[in-house]
A = this chain, B = another copy of it.
Amino acid sequence: MGHIGDRLIEEGRRKRTALVVGLDPDLRYIPDAIRQGADPETGEGAAEAIYAFNRIVIDAVADHVVAVKPQLAYYEIYGASGIGALERTIRYARSKGLLVLNDAKRGDIGPTSAAYARAFLGDGPIAGDMVTVNPFLGSDGYMPFIEAAETAGKVVFVLLKTSNPSSGELQDVKLDGGGALYMKLAEELERLAARSLGTHGYSCVGAVVGGTYPEEARAIRAALKSAIFLVPGYGAQGGSAEALRPFFDVRGEGAVVSSSRAILYAYRSLGDHWSSLSEAEIGRAIGEEAAGAKEAINAVRGL
């Protein structure tokens, strides 16, 4: 089984990109042309519209990204129909040679985490190549994911320092004896990451470190050298390309940067008539935004 830590680095080199595009389909922002014939008020209709939109996005960004990142909530809203759209989206992305990162943020007690790991890193209908995991339940909660990733040659990104404004409330608490909680977690993850290093020095164990927190990223990178970072928060959440420098290693590798709304809905900045744009116009706007994000990030990486 190939090591996806390696494959992620190699795909990034081959395509000259560190960009990941989130697939967070929100029907309110999907143009009429794509909803055509679909009733967005029913699960079936919404699922059709979501899949049609995702196909346009995937076609538009495929040359500019190492992976797509479905955000599970946007599919669960529509129950089985929505998860059916996720299944089809995953298949379509794979048919275009893209890696798939399920942004699921799962985490539970051991046996249930093992079931989630099977769902997302096994060979079932919503399994991808990578998944995000919430460490709040401690190691017996996240180890089933890490063990599944090591076995299957896939990647687990453990939440470490998230991009949202209140992420510090728990993640930054100062511990008795000094240091923030996220640094304690970073040290534990380094120990785990180091045991599954690939050819390029990175592990099956990755970490989510928000692009909105470059100072914290510097400290985390120093403690956690073996983990690829998944960096959300670039774009709509306000993170700038310049702020991304500390996330990368000296070769400009070791991190992938995720952007969702700023790229997905780029066509909305074309004006009030966005809802009546054609599929071709929508795809072009999304593709240009993705290409621009890729180059802005590459400039910071020294490429």
Contacts and interface: CB of A to CB of B under 8 A. Distances in A.
How many identical subunits does the complex contain?
2
A273 to B, nearest CB: 25
B109 A138 contact: no
A185 B120 CA distance: 30
A77 B138 contact: no
Interface string A161-197: 0111111111101111110010011001000000000
A146 interface: no
Nearest to A88: B80
A137 interface: yes
A223 to B, nearest CB: 17
A80 B73 contact: no
B73 A125 contact: no
A122 to B, nearest CB: 7
Contacts of A136: 134-136, 159, 162, 170-171
Nearest 6 CB-CB pairs, A to B? Answer: A79-B125, A138-B166, A138-B169, A73-B115, A80-B84, A174-B176
23 contacts: A24-B111, A43-B125, A73-B106, A73-B115, A73-B116, A79-B84, A79-B87, A79-B126, A80-B81, A81-B125, A105-B108, A105-B134, A109-B163, A109-B237, A136-B170, A137-B162, A137-B164, A137-B166, A138-B165, A138-B166, A138-B168, A170-B181, A176-B176
